[in-house]
Structure 1
Amino acid sequence: MIRWILAACALAVAAGAWVLSGPDPLPEDALDGLVADAANGERVFIAAGCASCHVAPEADAAVAAPVMSGGRRFESQFGTFIAPNISSHPDAGIGAWSDMDIANAVLRGVSPDGAHYYPAFPYTSYFRASAQDIVDLAAHLRTMPADPTPSLDHEIGFPFNIRRTLGLWKLMAGGPEMVLAGDVSPEVARGRHLVEGLGHCAECHTPRNGLGMADYDAWLAGAPEPAGDGRVPAITPDALGWTAFDIAQYLSTGFTPSFDTAGGDMVEVIENTSRLSSEDRDAIAAYLLALPRSGG
């Protein structure tokens, strides 16, 4: 009898886990009434750093219309993730995807066939973008070159290759709607939108626990480099010690106040931020300096 009770309990737990681990797509009316603006979509594309990950290895991500054929490898403690083809090709890329398909991928980490994406794709930050951003981005992506290069499978071992478990991971890893909460100035609000959402700065600059979940109590406080080579620096006000002008200039030129230059992955980040408007770079600086300092 006890054996049957235990079996029933185990079955109930498994059934509950299966339900909880399912995909959580956007409501069907999430994009209703939105009209795409491809010009703003290009700005979203730049701010989100799409080309930095999805162009072919060794290709120039800074050209006007990069070919988003994928193939770049990202090593981590969980395995190697390989960026997919997101070009406008209808078969190899995302050319046949609807706006809702793209929005679910970016904002919820859910594929058109209902599978979870790995958080190497930073939907854990992108969920803070607006639906309008994504509709605009989709319009811009459709203007870009198509490429037939097939996407490669990630090199992930057991148990991380079981995508369904990512549904439970998402439930545990979900962060606040905005980390810097409360009423802020319009400039800081724009910077918050860029840093916390589209720019996904925390994906590198915030430490994680053993399951890869961001430590929101150490927001932008620096973290080990994912591939295990060095450390990503803190960019909090105390750690930087820079003025708003210093930050904006660094995002434009790659030069620090001491005339050092950006290195590593920041070189690609600067390629993107240098193409933003000066107002957006100023907004990023205003946001970073609005973060709490040590002691309050």
Structure 2
Amino acid sequence: MIRRFIVVALVIGLAGFGVFWWLTIPARVLASALPAHTPDLANGQTVFNAGGCASCHATPAQPDRLKLGGGLPITSPFGTFYVPNISPDPAAGIGRWSEADFVTALQKGTSPSGAHYFPAFPYTSYQHMKLDDARDLFGFIKTLPQVAASSPEHDVPFPFNLRRNLGIWKLLFLDGAPFVAEAGKSPQWNRGSYLVNALGHCAECHSPRNALGGIIEKQRFAGGPDAEGAGWVPNITQKGLGEWSERDLSYLLETGQTPEGDTVGGSMARVIRNTSQLSAEDRTAMAVYLKSLPAVDGPVKPPRK
């Protein structure tokens, strides 16, 4: 009887493991799925700026935002992640990557070696990037300086360091849906929606997260505690920006200055260094979209001690 029980338990365990392994297979984009394409480098530069690539990937403590040597530490409740080198360096960076590798990273959150990326890399937003934009971005990055420095290994404790488990996380929080323009909205509003939600990935910082690290969708853009553990990220729905005009928002994205005359700091200052490079039309489109967000209550900010 005991022997039969052990055999049944082993069969069930193996079956369960097989289902887990199948569900967590890292997805890839095949090169054969990519039609012929000539990169538009000017558009690639726009995508680079809108996507905030330099905000995280530029080597810290040096002035050139186009030297993408990585190394920036990102702290979180799950450990410390170190931003990788994405310069064209063939050893330390992505110089040996194929275009399909790059598109796979953005759309599927999978590395060239077939491992799941941690979602500190905001592929939950980048998955909505248009294919041509992703390919133009890759073409632009390949024109940038090579940086030979390697980033430190992530400092993530067990069990969060088991990347295979991220396959389950992706089933919960990675929908794989492309960006679709909303019918009945203006081209300007849809451009702003695309810039904010897909490229700019604004919700990744400006939304509270649940215990698994996924965005709480009903409070999207409603602010909350800084995931890096330092301060509070503001609510950017009309609950927080109701008194701001579209011009105020566009001016902030250009200069970093608020209507009160303050200047943003911290990680938002790095964001402004990117959005300031966008066209006035794109900054206005982002402002139009953000001003259309309905008021949403976010988490309660704790009192200052």
TM range (shorter): over 0.9
Residue 282 of structure 2: SS of its match in structure 1? Answer: helix
Distance 2:137 2:288 in 1: 25
Q: Report if aligned partners of 2:29, 2:101 keep a CA contact under 8 Å in 1.
A: no
Cα drift, residue 178 of structure 1: 7.5
1:265 matched residue in structure 2: 267
1:84 matched residue in structure 2: 84
Q: Which of 244, 248, 258 is matched with 1:256 structurally?
A: 258
1:57 matched residue in structure 2: 60
Worse overlay, 177-186 or 79-88:
177-186
Cα drift, residue 30 of structure 1: 3.6
Instruction: State yes or no: 1:276 paired with 2:266.
Output: no
Q: Which of 43, 47, 50 is matched with 2:46 structurally?
A: 43
For 1:223-242, list aligned pairs within 5 A.
223-241=224-242, 242=244
Q: Report if aligned partners of 2:108, 2:176 keep a CA contact under 8 Å in 1.
A: no
Distance 1:91 1:291 in 2: 44
Q: Report if aligned partners of 1:54, 1:72 keep a CA contact under 8 Å in 2.
A: yes
1:222 matched residue in structure 2: 223
Instruction: State yes or no: 1:8 paired with 2:11.
Output: yes
Residue 265 of structure 1: SS of its match in structure 2? Answer: helix
Distance 1:28 1:96 in 2: 15
Give, as a single letter, the amino acid of the residue that structure 2 aligns with 1:229.
A
Q: Which of 28, 34, 39 is matched with 2:37 structurally?
A: 34
For 1:67-216, list aligned pairs within 5 A.
67-175=67-175, 177=177, 182-183=182-183, 184-216=185-217
Cα drift, residue 28 of structure 1: 4.3
Cα drift, residue 228 of structure 1: 1.6
Worse overlay, 76-85 or 258-267:
258-267
Residue deviations 1:118-152, cap 9 Å, x none? 11111111001111011101111111111211232
Cα drift, residue 71 of structure 1: 0.9
Q: Report if aligned partners of 2:129, 2:179 keep a CA contact under 8 Å in 1.
A: no
Cα drift, residue 83 of structure 1: 0.9
Cα drift, residue 175 of structure 1: 4.7
Q: Count matched residues.
A: 292
2:303 matched residue in structure 1: none
Worse overlay, 29-38 or 224-233:
29-38
Gaps of 5+ in 2: 298-305
Q: Give the TM-score normalised by the residue count of structure 2.
A: 0.91
Give, as a single letter, the amino acid of the residue that structure 1 aligns with 2:29.
L
Distance 1:203 1:294 in 2: 16
Residue 266 of structure 2: SS of its match in structure 1? Answer: coil
2:246 matched residue in structure 1: 244
Distance 1:13 1:103 in 2: 31
Query: CA-atom RMSD, angstroms?
Result: 1.8
Distance 2:284 2:175 in 1: 25
Gaps of 5+ in 1: none
Residue 88 of structure 1: SS of its match in structure 2? Answer: coil
Give, as a single letter, the amino acid of the residue that structure 2 aligns with 1:68.
L
Residue deviations 1:208-244, cap 9 Å, x none? 1011011111110002111222110110023211111
Q: Which of 21, 32, 47 is matched with 1:18 structurally?
A: 21
Residue deviations 1:22-79, cap 9 Å, x none? 11112544421332111111111111111111111212254xxx21111111111111
Identity level (%): 46
Q: Report if aligned partners of 1:75, 1:81 keep a CA contact under 8 Å in 2.
A: yes
Q: Report if aligned partners of 2:128, 2:179 keep a CA contact under 8 Å in 1.
A: no
Give, as a single letter, the amino acid of the residue that structure 1 aligns with 2:69.
S
